[in-house]
Structure formats: structure tokens, C-alpha cells
Amino acid sequence: AQTVTQSQPEMSVQEAETVTLSCTYDTSESDYYLFWYKQPPSRQMILVIRQEAYKQQNATENRFSVNFQKAAKSFSLKISDSQLGDAAMYFCAYRSLNTGNQFYFGTGTSLTVIP
């Protein structure tokens, strides 16, 4: 089975600064998707950004961007110009295309934004 590892249980960032959340994964597959989800205190999960493994170009969504290193199996999330509303738990996730669309999530990183 695939595994997703987030080695930073907690992170903090000053408002307006940049922070990078780390994620590594283990897989023998060549085709898959990677995601970052945000879970605010309301507990609703929100898709932040998605990366297809076959694409070399790093995905970007406004202030959110990823650094996808396929050979290293690394998928970090960079949040620029951090805002108070960015405070949440962030989950890295992997979606298998070979095992019927099964998802694997990391353990999460709790991000605090300091005013």
C-alpha cells in the first residue's frame, strides 16, 4: 500500500510571510495524483491544490504552489503572503489510479498564522 508522510505535526508563520509544508510518499506506481487539503476548525475538508504525476510543471493556485519532485517522491506546499484564514490542518494526499481511485492521506500539519 502507498504511504504518505508529513513529518511536521505543527508549523507556524507570521502573517504575510511564506511557509512551506513538507510531504513525502512511497509508491511503486508511475501514474497517480497528489493533493493538499485544508481542514479549518469547522472540520470541512477543502481541496487546495492538485498535481498530476505525469506533469513536470508544478501546480499553482493563487498564493499556493507546490514543489513536486517525482524522483525524490516529495510534494511540498508553499503558502505565500500567509493570511489569518490560512490557519488550519493541512493534509497531503495520494490518489492511486491503479487501485480503483483509492486515497491515502498523511497525518496532517497544523498551521498557525501569527498576526
Partner 1 sequence: EAQVTQNPRYLITVTGKKLTVTCSQNMNHEYMSWYRQDPGLGLRQIYYSMNVEVTDKGDVPEGYKVSRKEKRNFPLILESPSPNQTSLYFCASSSAGRVDEQFFGPGTRLTVL
Q: Does 27 bind partner 1 (CB under 8 A)?
A: no
Q: How far, in Å, CA of 105 to CA of 37, rounded?
A: 9
DSSP string of 82-100, one letter each residue = --GGG-EEEEEEEEETTTT
Q: Please give the DSSP secondary-structure letter assigned to residue 17.
A: S
**Binding residues for partner 1 restricted to 67-96, rule: CB under 8 A:** 91, 93, 95
By rule CB under 8 A, what count of residues binds partner 1?
23
Which of 28, 44, 56, 57 touches partner 1 by CB under 8 A? 44
What is the smallest separation between the CB atom of 96 and partner 1, expressed in angstroms? Answer: 10
What is the smallest separation between the CB atom of 83 and partner 1, expressed in angstroms? Answer: 22
Cα angle 39-5-114, degrees, rounded to a multiple of 5: 45
The window from 11-19, 56-64, 70-78, 106-114 that contacts partner 1 (CB under 8 A) reads 106-114
Distance, C-alpha 49 to centroid of its chain: 7
* Strands 109-114 and 10-14, sheet pairing: parallel
What is the smallest separation between the CB atom of 4 and partner 1, expressed in angstroms? Answer: 8
Start-to-end CA distance of the chain, whole Å, equals 41
Contact residues toward partner 1 (CB under 8 A) are: 1, 4, 6, 33, 35, 42-45, 47, 50, 91, 93, 95, 100-108
